[in-house]
Amino acid sequence: MDKEELLDMSPAEFRSMARRGEWTSDTVGKIARGYVNANLAIVPQDVAFEFLLFCTRNPAPCPVIDVTEPGNPHPSEMVAKEADLRTDLPRYRVFENGELIDEPTDIKKYWRDDLVAFLMGCSLSFEWVLEAVNIHFRLIGDFFTSVPCIPAGPFHGPIVASCRVFENSDLAVRALQVSSRHPSMHGAPIHIGDPAAIGITDLSKPDAFAPDPPARLPEPGETIMFWAAGVTPQAVALQAKLPFIITHKAGHMFIGDQLAQEQAAL
């Protein structure tokens, strides 16, 4: 399948392909142009309230799109009624007591009646929106900040932020306006300007995701903005060293049936 065919594919077609095990690599900017991407975190029912509370208290890094009932792998209420979260992402990560034990392409054998799945908004959706309105930027990468999340139960830790650079202030203003309309994709930036103000000392060394090859660093006259990133809830869930948790593998996203633009708040 060529590049344009993948971009023109519907979310349902892609999920079906992933379900059949025919796509196991990352989806970043490659699949179903314009459709919402979502981060996945699956936790046992006994910590589901505290994890949902953590997300409620930290909507910038953890914008909840859908939460399933315990044992139900279908995110039927809000997105993609036919989807099966056990099979429809290209690759997963399974953790026991904070240790990675498997990176399977489906999680059927790990599924349990007490598991609750959280789908959370993703900046990849927001990047489709920026692309659609001709706002260009350079993604520098994801960084741990000195800004703490509001804790809930065992869940705590810093906000992880993605750094984007805009060639001029006009583009940055437009990006701030557009992102403000999309709270389900991390909303407005959490910071404009000096990285040191949020505890980031070296933009050349992202802590989490980094593009390959690395993006050109900010130059004088450019505007730097930071958005809360979907890596945050995963980092927070892992540090809690839960007995059992499943996430998607970074970049191997769930793709829902709504266009990112459809989710604009106003």
Residue with tokens 């009624």: 81
Q: Note whether 154 binds a copy of itself by CB under 8 A.
A: no
Taking the complex as a whole, the smallest distance from the CB of residue 248 to a copy of itself amounts, in Å, to: 20
Q: Does 113 bind a copy of itself (CB under 8 A)?
A: no
Q: Among residue numbers 217 through 246, which ones bind a copy of itself (CB under 8 A)?
A: none
7/19 Cα distance (integer angstroms): 18
Scan for tokens 């399974």, then name that residue. 94
In terms of residues, how long is the chain?
266
**Rama region for 32: left / alpha / beta (φ>0; ψ in -120 to 50; rest):** left
Cα angle at 258 between 49 and 183, to 5 degrees? Answer: 55
140, 164 in Cβ contact below 8 A? Answer: yes
Terminal-to-terminal C-alpha distance of the chain: 36
56 binding a copy of itself? (CB under 8 A): yes
Q: Decide: is 112 part of the binding site for a copy of itself (CB under 8 A).
A: no
Does residue 120 touch a copy of itself according to CB under 8 A? no
The least distance separating a copy of itself from the CB of residue 78, rounded to whole angstroms, comes to 7
Burial level of 204, CB count in 10 A (0-12/13-18/19+)? Answer: exposed
Part in contact with a copy of itself (CB under 8 A); list of ranges 15-23, 135-143, 180-188, 232-240: 180-188
Q: Which residues pair with 247 in a beta bridge?
A: 41, 93
Q: Which is nearer to a copy of itself, 16 or 45 (CB)?
A: 45
- 1, 133, 150, 197: which one contacts a copy of itself (CB under 8 A)? 150
Touching a copy of itself, residues 158-177 (CB under 8 A) = 177
Q: Site residues (CB under 8 A) for a copy of itself?
A: 45, 48-49, 52-53, 56-57, 64, 67, 69, 77-78, 150, 152-153, 177, 180-181, 183, 187-188, 265-266
